[in-house]
Structures are given as C-alpha cells and as structure tokens.
C-alpha cells in the first residue's frame, strides 16, 4: 500500500509538472486571476504580450494593463463570470496596453477552483495581425466599390459633357458670343477639369493587367515635360530635371505617363510662386531587388502629419477643389507594375519616390502573382 501511495504521489507530481509546462509554454497567452482582477498565474506568452517580467505581473491588478475604453467591458465581464451568466465559449474583445502599444485581444474564460477559491482562467489571443487583414480587406472593398462608381460616372456623365463642350466650342467661334468670350473659356476650362476628374475615377476601376513594353524612363519624362512645364509656368514654378542613366524597365507607357503627370501636378499644386519642382532618376536596391527610381521633389509646406498614413487612399486631399484621386491612381498603377511608392516630407517640402522593378515582363507578372 505504501508503494502504491508512493507511485500515486510521483504520478501526481508528474501530471502537475506536465500541466505547468503545457500552461507556461503554450503559444497563446493564459492568465489566472481572481474576481478582483489580481493576477495569480500567467504564462510566458501573456508576459511577452505585455513585454513584462513575471515579477511585474503576479499580484498586480489586471485592470492596469487594460485600455481605458475597455475597462467597463472587463468589469461587466467579471460580474457575468461570477454569476455564471456567461457562456464559457463566448469570446469578448478588449484592448490591452503595453509599454509601447495598444494590443487588440480576444478573451475566452472559464472558472476553476484552486485551494477552495474560485478563480478565472482566461485565454488571451492577440489579433493585431487579423485586424490588419480585416482593415486591408475593408480597404480593398472600398476600392472595389469606388471603381464601380467610377465606371458608372464615366458612362453616365462623360457623354453629356462631350455634347456641352462641343456646343461651347461652337459658341466661341460665333461673333455674337464675343462679349461672352471670357465666360465661355471659363466653362470650357471647367469642363476640361471635370473630364480630368472623370478620367481619374475611371482609372480606379481598371483591374486588367497592363500591356508591358520595354520603356526608357528618361524618354517618357522628356515626352511629358512640355505639358507639365506649361502648367508650371502659369504658376511661376520652375521644373528642373536631373536624369541620370538608369536601366530600362518593362511597363505600360500610358500608365507610366499617368503616374508622372499625377505626381508632378501634385507637386506643382503644393508649391508657391517662385518655387522649384525637381525630377531626379536614381538606381535603388532593397530586398535583393533592383529598382529604377523616379524622385519628384517640391518646396511646399509638407504633408500634414494627420493625413500622412492616408496618402494613396481615395478622396484624401488637403485641396478644396480636388477630389483626392490622383495619388490613389498612382498607388494602383504602381501595384500593377509591382512597384513601390513612398515619400519623405517636412516643412521644407516633400519628395515622392516611385520605384519600378528592373525585371522582364514575365518576371514582373510572376512577381505580382
């Protein structure tokens, strides 16, 4: 009998050790606390989530790592657990707060009894990455919706706009309308601006892969310079170029021109009279990939900090007379070319970098997929 008791004791110790190792080494965070929120036990995954040592967690109130916006939810959750009114399979969402960041988590709990005391054991799942994926899916859904709206606008509005423009041009040739020349020119310019906006909306609805050809970036910059220089001259802005030899790329010429025009127009609109807009080409390499890079710099006042993370999304603009589509179109085109767009900004001005991969047509398609 004594021997059996000894075996039972050894087995019990082994089981306890195994349970402890499973608890402590689990990849998901676990925390055990009482109904006042005092932490009794936690595993290494939970401590890593909060970026704390064991001594910093045990005996402390769990509430001190819960975001203020989630405090009421957590208190209500504990009350429901204490009264056995909560389904143990139910997940609740909270936000924890570590030293460096706010952490969205999902929690599932159950009650356990330890030394005659009822405690709460919670599984804490960090869903930061899942939240990012959900936000990205929402963004893509917004782009998809915007594309459908863009196509509808193009079909429904462009035809009557073309008719109106045609009659305005006819009126401009009639002597009897000479007193209204200025007004007709204004209408003509506004129709052109509306057509440009429709074209930008339409660009958002394109989903097909572009037709790639071998493109010399220097030649494409040269081809759009007269148009851009004329617009810049009207605003007393100087366009300068520093085009260094860079490799040819495979790209859609029309879309490359659209990217250049949109970014340069953006730079001109951000500039003041007497400023300079500079176009530079450079070779860059990162992540073992070589890029032909175009840099467009202005001397404006910079992009406000509160919208910097939103740059490239539809309808984001600081201009009162613009739809905020231009850079969104650029971002979409760069994605179709497996390229990258980023920027540096300060109160002295902003530089946009357009990185096109130096790859063959088939390599680009494979790389995108």
Are both 2-126 and 209-369 of the same fold?
A: no
CB neighbour class for 138 (10 Å; exposed up to 12, middle 13-18, buried from 19): exposed
Q: What's the pTM?
A: 0.52
pLDDT at 361 over 60: no
- Do the beta carbons of residue 42 and residue 31 sit within 8 Å? yes
Helices (H) and strands (E) in the chain, counts: 11, 12
For the residues 178-184, what does the mean pLDDT come to?
Answer: 88
CATH topology assigned to domain 129-207: Helix Hairpins (1.10.287)
Question: Domain spanning 209-369 has what CATH number?
Answer: 3.30.565.10
Return the pLDDT at 259.
92
User: What 8-state DSSP symbol labels residue 110?
Assistant: E
What's the CA dihedral at 32, 34, 38, 44 to 10 degrees?
A: 0
For the residues 316-333, what does the mean pLDDT come to?
Answer: 74
Classify domain 2-126 by CATH architecture.
2-Layer Sandwich (3.30)
Contact partners, residue 170, CB within 8 Å, separation at least 6: none
Pairing of strands 238-243, 276-286: parallel
Confidence category of residue 369, pLDDT binned at 50, 70, 90: very low
Tens-digit pLDDT profile for residues 18-66:
455 667 778 888 999 999 999 998 888 898 888 888 888 889 999 999 9
Query: Which helix (H) or strand (E) covers residue 130, if one does?
Result: helix 128-172
Return the pLDDT at 16.
55
Confidence category of residue 91, pLDDT binned at 50, 70, 90: confident
Comparing 96 with 146, which gets the higher pLDDT?
Answer: 96
pLDDT at 4 over 50: no
Confidence category of residue 327, pLDDT binned at 50, 70, 90: confident
Measured CA angle at 350 (ends 204, 308), to 5 deg: 55
Name the residue ranges covered by the structural domains of the chain.
2-126, 129-207, 209-369
Return the pLDDT at 66.
92
Name the 3-class secondary structure at 66.
Answer: strand
For the residues 199-205, what does the mean pLDDT come to?
Answer: 65
- Do the beta carbons of residue 267 and residue 240 sit within 8 Å? no
- Counting every residue written for the chain, the total comes to 369
Distances (CA, A) of 248 to 37, 79, 256, 266, 340: 63, 67, 13, 25, 17
Q: φ and ψ at 59, to 5 degrees?
A: 85, -5
CA-nearest of 229, 246, 204, 225 to 335 is 204
For the residues 168-189, what does the mean pLDDT come to?
Answer: 88
What's the CA dihedral at 137, 143, 144, 148 to 10 degrees?
A: 160
Query: Which helix (H) or strand (E) covers residue 89, if one does?
Result: none
pLDDT at 115 over 50: yes
CA-nearest of 276, 281, 241, 243 to 348 is 276
């Amino acid at each position: 009998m004594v021997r059996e008791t000894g075996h039972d004791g050894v087995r019990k110790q082994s089981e306890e050790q195994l349970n402890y190792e499973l608890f402590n080494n689990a990849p998901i965070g676990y925390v055990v606390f009482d109904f006042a929120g005092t932490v009794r036990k936690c595993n290494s995954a939970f401590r890593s989530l909060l970026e704390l040592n064991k001594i910093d967690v045990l005996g402390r109130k769990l509430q001190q790592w819960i975001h203020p916006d989630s405090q009421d939810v957590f208190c209500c959750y504990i009350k429901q657990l204490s009264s056995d009114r909560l389904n143990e399979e139910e997940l609740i969402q909270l936000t924890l707060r570590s030293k460096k960041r706010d952490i969205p988590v999902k929690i599932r709990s159950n009650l356990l009894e330890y030394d005659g005391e009822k405690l709460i054991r919670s599984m804490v799942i960090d869903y930061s990455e899942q939240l990012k994926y959900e936000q990205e899916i929402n963004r893509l859904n917004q782009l998809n919706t915007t594309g459908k709206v863009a196509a509808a606008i193009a079909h429904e509005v462009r035809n009557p706009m073309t008719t109106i423009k045609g009659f305005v041009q006819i009126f401009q040739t009639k002597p009897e309308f000479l007193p209204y020349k200025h007004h007709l020119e204004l209408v003509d310019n506004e129709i052109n601006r509306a057509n440009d906006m429709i074209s930008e909306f339409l660009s958002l609805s394109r989903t097909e892969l572009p037709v790639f050809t071998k493109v010399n970036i220097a030649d494409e910059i040269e081809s759009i310079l007269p148009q851009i220089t004329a617009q810049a001259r009207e605003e007393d802005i100087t366009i300068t170029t520093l085009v260094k030899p860079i490799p040819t790329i495979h790209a859609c010429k029309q879309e490359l021109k659209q990217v250049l025009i949109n970014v340069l127009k953006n730079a001109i609109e951000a500039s003041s009279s007497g400023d300079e807009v500079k176009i530079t080409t450079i070779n860059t390499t990162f992540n073992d990939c070589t890029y032909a890079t175009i840099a467009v710099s202005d001397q404006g006042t910079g992009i406000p900090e509160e919208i910097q993370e939103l740059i490239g999304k539809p309808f984001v603009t600081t201009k009162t007379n613009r739809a905020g589509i231009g850079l969104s179109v650029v971002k979409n085109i760069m994605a179709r070319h497996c390229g990258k767009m980023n920027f540096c900004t300060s109160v002295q001005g902003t530089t946009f970098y357009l990185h096109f991969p130096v790859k063959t047509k088939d390599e680009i398609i494979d790389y995108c997929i």
